[in-house]
Structure 1
Amino acid sequence: MKSFRELLVWQKGIEVVTSVYAATGQFPKAETYGLTDQARRAAVSIPANIAEGYGRQSTQDYIRFLLIARGSLYELQTHMEIARRLGYLTDLDNADSVDARILEVERMLSSLIAKLKSKPRS
């Protein structure tokens, strides 16, 4: 693989970002610098950390950045749950789509991390 852009998990991470931006676009204006900003930052952090880790010189660094990406994903799940409980996610189809994308990336990240951890150190 020549580029992080070829990683399916990175591509799916970008899809998470775009779906989160769409979902948070309907949040109240009072949340612009609160929940909206926090959710968007967490979402952007996912593919950004996947890309940064891919560019590192060692497998251990790559794993570390993938773990950070997974942490951001869990943070995003928390923000979206709060938004749901506050009634900010009024478009249920969009909310379900965001949830499905998040879960898909979670599975992919966990699988990639496990695969990299099982490889002999280089």
Structure 2
Amino acid sequence: MHKVENLKIWTKSIALTKAVYLLIASLPKDEKFGLTSQIKRSAVSIPSNIAEGAGRNSNKEFKHFLSIANGSNYELHTQLLLLIELNLIHEEKVQPIIEQCIEIQKMNYVFQQKL
């Protein structure tokens, strides 16, 4: 078992989730229950699955939950790109968050290889 608070990937995914919530607050109100809701779920899923995996009994189980977290990350990445494509938000506001997604995707891959 791993102490989740000591995992850099978890800490960065918490920061990503906070950034997503701040970004979402600036979206039009009519998106509140559409894409916005899905984006929030994807973002929260990333650190949640990392935490769940850290609490499991084996590295094999941990890798499984890291894989789920990575899938949620790619889902979030796609949804952020949709915000830009749908002209709901300017690209310069979203790009730093997309870069955080990519960094966590790379960290996740390396971490899985080390387990």
Q: State if a TM-score over 0.5 links the two structures.
A: yes
TM-score tier (shorter): over 0.9
Note the residue ranges of structure 1 that are not aligned, 5 or more in a row. 117-122
Say whether 1:105 aligns with 2:112.
no
Q: Deviation at 1:83?
A: 0.6
One-letter amino acid of the structure 2 residue matched with residue 113 of structure 1: Q
Structure 1 residue ranges (4+ consecutive) displaced by more than 6 angstroms after TM superposition: none
Deviations 1:60-102 (A, max 9, x none): 110100000000001001110111101122261x312101111
Q: Deviation at 1:2?
A: 5.8
Q: 3-state SS of the aligned residue for 2:14?
A: helix
Contact 1:23 1:89 in 2 (8 A): no
Whose Rg is larger?
Answer: 1
Contact 2:2 2:54 in 1 (8 A): no
Q: Deviation at 1:114?
A: 1.5
Instruction: Give 1:56's aligned residue.
Output: 56
The percentage of aligned residue pairs carrying the same residue is 37
Query: Could you tell which deviates more after superposition, 20-29 or 59-68?
Result: 20-29
Note the residue ranges of structure 2 that are not aligned, 5 or more in a row. none
User: What CA RMSD, in Å, does the superposition of the two structures yield over aligned residues?
Assistant: 1.4
| TM-score, length of structure 1 as denominator length | 0.89
